[in-house]
Amino acid sequence: MTRHSRPSDPGGGHRGVGQRVGHRGVGHEIEHDDEAGELLELLYGLVRDLRREATAGTGVTTPGQQRLLRALRNAGEPRRPGELAAALDVAARSVTSKVDQAEADGLVRRVADPRDRRATLVELTDAGRAALAEFSSRRQAGAATRLERLEPAEREQLLALLRRVRGQAGDCEGAIPGPGPGGQPRR
């Protein structure tokens, strides 16, 4: 078996524990030996696909640019590049290049800091707000389209399980919503 091939599976599509499955994506390779690896692969692939579909034609071209625009939107007011770097947990030079590109694309602009004329602030432009809104709307629609592949009870169950996995049980408290065995409600 090669590094990227699926093992032969005479048993009806189920992999045994420890069988190696590889997946090759654009610019990366993910391999997993267990369910945790498969979970990571599935989540990463879903988020990547949603991001790619959502960015087409919006002017928001990279995940880093998306994060920059969201950070500015969430701040509610213009921010210094150093504050953005801290909020994004990246090096200041990384923010500088992201701001340079976003400014060239008309998504942000640099303005003088009214409290310190030596400093500059970065603010979203109307075009940046519109691009971010379009990206968010498309990403939401893409997620909704994927959820529509499931029955309503399956959607509820998927979301409840993901909340549990993430540690946000909240209202599910370990119970799995949706019908139980024989279609009867779970108690």
- With 90 as the cut, is the pLDDT of residue 159 above it? yes
177 vs 161: CA distance, rounded Å:
9
Is 176 a residue whose pLDDT tops 50? Answer: no
What's the pLDDT score for residue 18? Answer: 40
Instruction: Quick: pLDDT tens for 10-28.
Output: 333 444 434 444 444 444 4
Residues 19, 33: Cα–Cα separation, whole Å: 6
How large is the average pLDDT for residues 161-172?
A: 76
Can you tell me the distance from the alpha carbon of 177 to that of 167, in angstroms, rounded to the nearest whole number?
17
State the average pLDDT over residues 80-98. 93
Domains, in order of start, for the chain:
63-132 (1.10.10.10)
pLDDT above 90 coverage of the chain, percent: 52
Distance (Å, whole) CA 147 – CA 72: 30
Q: Which helix (H) or strand (E) holds 122?
A: strand 116-124
DSSP 136-160: HHHHHHHHHHHHTTS-HHHHHHHHH
| Cβ atoms 79, 106 nearer than 8 A | no
pLDDT of residue 51: 87
- Whether residue 71 has pLDDT greater than 70: yes
pLDDT the model gives residue 33 = 66
The mean pLDDT of 108-117, rounded to a whole number, is 93
The most confident of the ranges 15-24, 97-106, 162-171 is: 97-106
3-state secondary structure at position 128: helix
Q: In the predicted model, what is the mean pLDDT of residues 143-167?
A: 94
- Please give the Cα distance from 173 to 182 (Å, whole number): 22
Which of 16-20, 73-77, 133-137 is modeled with the greatest confidence? 73-77
pLDDT the model gives residue 31: 55
User: Which band of pLDDT confidence, cut at 50, 70 and 90, is reported for residue 170?
Assistant: low
Average pLDDT over residues 155-184: 65
